[in-house]
Chain A
Amino acid sequence: MIMPALLGTAIFILIPVAGSFFISLTRWNLISPPDFVGFENYSKLLSDPLFYHVLITTIIYALAVVIFSITIPLILAVALNQKIKGIVLFRTAYFLPVITPMIVAAIVWSWIFDPNNGILNFMLIKTGISTPPLWLFDKFWAIIAIIIVSVWKNIGYNMIIFLAGLQGIPDSLYEAADIDGATSINKLFHVTIPMLTPTIFFVCIMSTISSFQVFDLIYLMTDGGPENATMVIVYWLFKNAFEFFKLGYASSIAYVLFIIILVLTLVQWKLRKKWVMYE
């Protein structure tokens, strides 16, 4: 009974993972047969200034997205975890961006960010900012615009996870804190957040991993530009593979990504033992 799943997983996941490594050791353009070149692609990668630029851009993006998609949903979940009316309504509202196709988010936000006709810059001008940013057309602001859209899309998902975490904290702890005369702020920092560290940790891993895999928004909103300002690792991989047809080089990028994600997961697992509190 496991045969169909096993066969499919072998053919479409396991063999390709091995294949990807093999391809990374070749020079190949899909037309002529692959040339075996050993680790040449990796040494080329390590001496390619663009690689470091791509890596730094991806890390900046991931850091910002992770920070905001933890803090904002956490605040919202704490606010929602009371006797709030319309909880289903709020939950649905926050969830709308999560289930929306990226293409739709990209279209709407490209329009919002439009420097000349977009609603955002109109409002910024209204509030007295005479030269608002060009957003997607500006080397500095483009990545920030992408970060905003990503965070907007992640908030609802993480909020639900935090809400579940909050509901798992036993009331007895708050009652004990009340007896000790703790204020709301005390309780937040000494009961809620410590009790929530396993959840925060989980969200942190998931968000970091998914941030390193960002592709859709870049493809749809900036094309990696302007001047490579939003060139992230998966988009660069895609360009090398399917626009420049450097499949060997693209595969070496893929493997670097694989290792980064593996290391991130392992490091965070290690850290978890250190700073996560269990009951």
Chain B
Amino acid sequence: MGNVRIKLIISYTILVIGALSMILPFIWMLLTSFMSNSQIFSYPPEIVPEPFLWQNYPEIANKIPLFRYFLNSMIVSIATVIGQVATCSMAAYAFARLNFKHKNILFFVFLGTMMIPPQVNIVPLFFLMRELHWIDTYWALIVPGIFGGFGIFLLRQWFLSFPKELEDAARIDGCNPFMTFWHIALPLAMPAIVTLGIFSFITSWNSFMWPLIVTNSDVMKTLPVGLAAFKGSFRETTEWAQLMAASVISVIPVIIVFILGQKYFIKGIMLGALKE
């Protein structure tokens, strides 16, 4: 029994040290966001904000269009989720249940797209956006992010996993494939759809390179790109407290989404999602 106990003690020690190194940067960020600039540069570094200041939050919101960035990120992330769920669920259902020409080859093509690093495509995609006059619009931020093989793969597995009889019954009652999909299959697939939705929300919210390339004006920037511009212009200097305040604001939505959908999120990881 002593052996087991030692093992547990070692395990707890490892886990606690690990967890602290995960969380401390966030605590450090939160505390710094309430400090005055003079306190930030005091030596030795201080941990507790003294005086405790709220004003970094309104100040950063005045200095850069933080609310607009936030709104843009929301619009882009939500639209991407809707677009991805809509296109992927229809295609996945077709691959799982319907018969059509070249079905296997087409499915293989979709799977193959998962192996293409997105960076390979940025130059032609940028050119395409320019030709479509989509640069600096929501279209460029949203539409290319919708497509990819992962969602189809995930939902197809799910559709395959439940019995066909229910849908057969609907068909006998005179439903066409789309009605069967809409009224029977889609509601049954809700857990998988939520998983896909959470993943695509977080991926889209955190996405950086593409929004950086296709936005120019301040009013179209997403939160990460807007913050990066602010950080860049202060690379050498001092506005750390305000940067931390803005960081706190940008991390809150993903934390909320994660806490609400933790169990779906973990399920999604098992299926090999979230490529960064």
Contact = CB atoms under 8 A, between A and B. Distances in A.
Interface of A: 1-2, 4-6, 8-9, 11-17, 19-20, 23, 30, 72, 75-76, 78-80, 82-84, 89-112, 117-119, 122, 152, 155-157, 160-161, 164, 184, 202, 206, 209-210, 212-213, 215-216, 219-220, 234, 237-238, 241-242, 247, 250-251, 254-255, 257-258, 261-262, 265
Contacts of B276: 102, 210, 213
Contact of B11 (A2, A84, A219): A84
Contact of A122 (B45, B87, B272): B45
Q: Which label, helix, strand, loop or mixed, suits the secondary structure of the B interface?
A: helix
A215 B254 contact: no
Q: Which label, helix, strand, loop or mixed, suits the secondary structure of the A interface?
A: helix
A212 B276 CA distance: 10
B204 to A, nearest CB: 11
B154 to A, nearest CB: 13
B119 interface: yes
Given A82-B7, A82-B8, A93-B19, A5 B110 contact: yes
A253 B47 CA distance: 45
B198 to A, nearest CB: 10
Contacts of A5: 87-88, 90-91, 110, 147, 152
Contact of A254 (B86, B88, B120, B275): B120
Contacts of B109: 9, 14
Contacts of A105: 25
Contacts of B224: 101-103
Contacts of A79: 10-12, 14-15
A224 to B, nearest CB: 13
B232 to A, nearest CB: 8
B146 interface: yes
B15 A76 contact: yes
Contacts of A261: 115, 117
A112 B25 contact: yes
A18 to B, nearest CB: 8
B274 A157 contact: yes
A107 B11 contact: no
A245 B272 CA distance: 35
Nearest to A247: B123
B22 A262 contact: no
B22 A156 contact: yes
B7 to A, nearest CB: 6
Contact residues on B (Cβ < 8 Å of other chain), bracket:
35 or more
B196 interface: no
A106 B213 CA distance: 19
Contact of B121 (A13, A94, A98): A13
Nearest to A85: B12
Given A9-B113, A20-B121, A261-B117, A101 B223 contact: yes
Interface stretch (B51-59, B161-169, B187-195, B244-252): B244-252
A27 to B, nearest CB: 13
Nearest to A105: B25
A103 B228 contact: yes
A1 B90 contact: yes
Contacts of B125: 12, 16
Contacts of B209: 215-216, 219, 238
13 contacts: A9-B113, A80-B15, A84-B8, A94-B19, A100-B254, A103-B223, A108-B244, A118-B45, A122-B44, A157-B274, A160-B266, A164-B270, A206-B275
B95 A101 contact: no
A267 B224 CA distance: 35
Interface in B100-132: 100, 106, 109-110, 113, 115-128
Given A12-B143, A82-B8, A104-B247, A213 B14 contact: no
Contact of B147 (A9, A110, A160, A258): A9
Nearest to B274: A157
A241 B122 CA distance: 9
B157 interface: no
